[in-house]
Amino acid sequence: MHIFQLAYKYLEHAFIYINQFVLETLAQGPIPRHVAFIMDGNRRYAKENGISIAEGYLAGTKALVKILDTCFDCGINVISLYTFSLENFNRPKEQVDVLMVLLEQTLGEMGENNPLVKKHNLRARVLGRLELLEDSVLRAVAKTMNATKDNRGKIVNICVAYAGRDEIASAIRETVADPGVPSKITAMSLTENMFMGVPPLDLLVRTSGVYRLSDFMLWQCHQGADIEVVGMNWPDFGRWDICMILLRWQSRRRASAYV
């Protein structure tokens, strides 16, 4: 065997061992039930690597599969993804079209025979102002949700045409329209009418180093939710990075238990 092939083989085995060690270490501590991601930096990644915006978002989609698999392997039950915001409709049409085509393709691949869906018995929920989407995308949404609706394993919330303030406004409308709800609106009654439902958010991660929520899950980012911003672009974000974030989250939880 060529020396470089041999070295690669040993490195591959070492990575598998280290990855398994980290997963076993994480299993010894608390695990967040609900983690959200603002997947920022796809366009910046494309520019830095001299590729098209479409290729940048495609690279981000490939990174997403690895992150979802790792999170679910660690024991996280629910993942929420900021896929397309209401504000994104204000981008140039060609950029919006690229994102819609990619969304349609990605949803089309999330059927019952998808390896990730089968491995984690995954249920996909698409949340947001879906009436604003093109008919072809809506068909893909309906097909994916219908194909996975009976799955009782992990859950992925795909937030499309979504904004946090819009979600809060929608929850208020739903609450006051319910004749069975007391006249006094409470935090609990609003929470019950949010798109996300339960469990509460434990951790929100944003890539690209930007320190803002960009109108994502504003209601859910309460005092019990940690927010972590990492400097790398989303396509560069990998298994090791999310494992390190989870280890830091565990460390903070252990520290707060002794306060």
Catalytic center residues: 40, 88
Please state the φ and ψ torsions of residue 178, each to the nearest 5 degrees: -85, 115
Tokens of 111: 């059927």
Rounded to the nearest 10°, the torsion over CA 187, 189, 192, 198 is: 40
Sheet strands side by side (includes 123-127): 123-127, 155-162, 78-85, 34-38, 203-206, 226-229
**Closest to 108 measured CA to CA, from 80, 60, 145:** 145
Tokens of 191: 């929470």
